[in-house]
């Protein structure tokens, strides 16, 4: 069974984390969820759903201030981490190693242990600081999967777009998901 850490930061699109957690549950993955305080705020502003909607989908939910949690240690072995959505602040924390919350500490641990880290950065437009940090993240070994619109998969709804992003974020872990329509030559 795969064990994956899901980090949710305060960028727009926190609802995408629900689709990700559902996909991981369907794929029989053990999930460890950490949602930043800012993400909880964004959740309130962008959805009319209770926070428990997200928490209920994870096997373990951590307080972002709990630096003694299992996922803050390299000896807690995981397959890696996905940050969806990834704010520019969290991106800056990942590339600088500034681990002032559990999400950032978990990402730092994954990087130092050579585990997969997938970042789904969300900002528009991207400024130079963001672009520099994205390059640094890529150089550090992170896979950058921005939640971009895709049209070759013939999406009909926003959910179709989100499922495609989630499918792309899970590809580095070798996990295939429903609703992900890869490009096929006709």
Ligand X SMILES: Cc1cc2nc3c(=O)[nH]c(=O)nc-3n(C[C@H](O)[C@H](O)[C@H](O)COP(=O)(O)O)c2cc1C
Residues that bind ligand X (CB under 6 A): 9-12, 36, 38-39, 41-42, 45-46, 87-90, 122-123
Shortest CB 129 distance to ligand X, Å: 11
Distance CA 180, CA 104 (A): 28
Neighbour-count burial of 40, counting CB atoms closer than 10 A to its CB (0-12 exposed, 13-18 middle, 19+ buried): middle
Q: Which is nearer to ligand X, 17 or 57 (CB)?
A: 17
Torsion, CA 55, CA 60, CA 65, CA 71, rounded to 10: -140
108 φψ region: left (φ > 0), alpha (ψ -120 to 50), beta (else)? alpha
Task: Report how far apart, in Å, the C-alpha atoms of 86 and of each of 103, 158, 182, 183 are.
Answer: 10, 19, 23, 25
Q: Which is nearer to ligand X, 16 or 170 (CB)?
A: 16
Q: Which is nearer to ligand X, 3 or 89 (CB)?
A: 89
Residue nearest to ligand X (CB): 10
Q: Which is nearer to ligand X, 1 or 45 (CB)?
A: 45
């Amino acid at each position: 069974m795969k064990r994956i850490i899901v980090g949710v930061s305060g960028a727009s699109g926190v609802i995408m984390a629900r689709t990700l957690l559902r996909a991981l549950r369907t794929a029989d993955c053990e999930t460890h969820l950490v949602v930043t305080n800012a993400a909880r705020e964004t959740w309130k502003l962008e959805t009319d759903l209770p926070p428990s909607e997200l928490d209920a989908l994870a096997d373990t939910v951590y307080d972002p201030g709990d630096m003694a949690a299992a996922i803050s240690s390299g000896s807690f072995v995981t397959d890696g981490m996905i940050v969806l959505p990834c704010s520019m602040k969290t991106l800056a924390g990942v590339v600088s190693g500034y681990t002032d919350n559990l999400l950032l500490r978990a990402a730092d641990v994954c990087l130092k242990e050579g585990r997969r880290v997938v970042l789904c950065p969300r900002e528009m437009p991207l400024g130079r600081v963001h672009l520099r940090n994205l390059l640094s993240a890529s150089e550090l070994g992170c896979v950058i999967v921005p939640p971009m619109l895709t049209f070759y998969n013939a999406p009909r709804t926003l959910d179709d777009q989100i499922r495609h992003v989630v499918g792309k974020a899970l590809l580095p872990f070798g996990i295939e998901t429903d609703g992900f329509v890869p490009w096929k030559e006709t």
